[in-house]
A and B are shown apart, each in its own frame.
Chain A
Amino acid sequence: MARWSMVIDLEKCVACQGCSIACRFENNTPVVSQELALEERAMRWNDVFPMPHGEVGEFPNTKTHYMTRPCMHCENPPCIKVCPVQATYIDDEGLVRQNYARCIGCRFCTVACPYGVRYFNWYAPQFDPDLAQHLNPDRVEGKGVLEGPSVRPKGVVEKCTYCVHRLQKAHAQAEAEGREFRPDEYMPACVQTCTGKARFFGDLDDPNSTVSKLAKSKRAFRLLEDVGTQPKTIYLQEGE
């Protein structure tokens, strides 16, 4: 089966935050008030933030390096090991899934993730009246299952799903048309939107896919490689 992975080329990223916004609209992530954002209650499945080392260079030739971070969808995820109710689990296509219908909100997974990709619904999500009319209707649901862009209740954990609803739709489409599923039919909203064409998505198990080739690049690195989580979100560092 597939091993979905994302490659992000930091040389091409312009930190426009288009990925974060596309993700927010695709996945019905609510915007919080400014006070709540100052209380660190904002939810950013894909987060764009300046690198901790701060500005480089002398004024006026300073530069701030930015990082864009979705979920790593690790192959050895510390989060799924600790979930007491199997609300988060890894499926056979390598996606780390989150089931809102099962989550009890203990936040053990959130605490266990060394990357900080998980977010908790401290309050019930509130949408601006205009935005509330334009929520993404896609739902990933079933018996005891509620995942993806489905509007979350309060008290559950959520995170980037590599737009699993799009994968579901692509599979369903292929089946409806009676043909094979093609990997290039599935890409998350952030990859589709990226202004600088810095994001790539594909199957690591396919040696000919873009991500497989880019993963072998000399510039390729993964975050916190020494922790042993084997993240599948791969970065290409800036420079040649």
Chain B
Amino acid sequence: MNFPMDKPIFQFLYWFVNTAGNGGIAVGVLALLIVVFVFLGLRWVAAGSQSDEESYSYPTPALHEKH
């Protein structure tokens, strides 16, 4: 009657949710991932000004069709 704790995957999951500190690591990893993703994304957007194109104050669908 000890199933599921007989299986190693459940032993691992039990350890994972029951160990102090894992929660902080999970939140930290998540925050790091989001910050990195956003940083890279913003850098990608800012880098779009390299080319010698016209500048516009606002977009329209026509702007994207032309390119």
Contacts and interface: CB of A to CB of B under 8 A. Distances in A.
B25 interface: no
A220 B10 CA distance: 35
A82 to B, nearest CB: 12
By secondary structure, the A interface counts as loop
A85 B20 CA distance: 6
6 contacts: A84-B23, A85-B20, A86-B18, A86-B19, A86-B20, A102-B20
Range for the number of chain A residues in contact with chain B: under 10
A133 B55 CA distance: 80
A102 B19 CA distance: 14
A85 B19 CA distance: 9
Range for the number of chain B residues in contact with chain A: under 10
Contacts, number: 6
- Give the one of B19, B20, B23 with max A CB within 10 A: B20
A85 B18 CA distance: 10
A84 B18 CA distance: 10
Interface in B13-32: 18-20, 23
A86 B20 CA distance: 6
A102 B21 CA distance: 12
A90 to B, nearest CB: 10
Enumerate the 6 nearest inter-chain pairs by beta-carbon distance, A residue then B residue, closest first: A86-B20, A85-B20, A84-B23, A86-B18, A102-B20, A86-B19
Contacts of A84: 23
A117 B26 CA distance: 32
Contacts of B18: 86
A162 B20 CA distance: 24
B22 to A, nearest CB: 10
A85 B23 CA distance: 9
Interface string A79-104: 00000111000000000000000100
A11 B20 CA distance: 43
A157 to B, nearest CB: 16
A84 B24 CA distance: 10
A143 B18 CA distance: 19
B49 to A, nearest CB: 45
Nearest to B23: A84
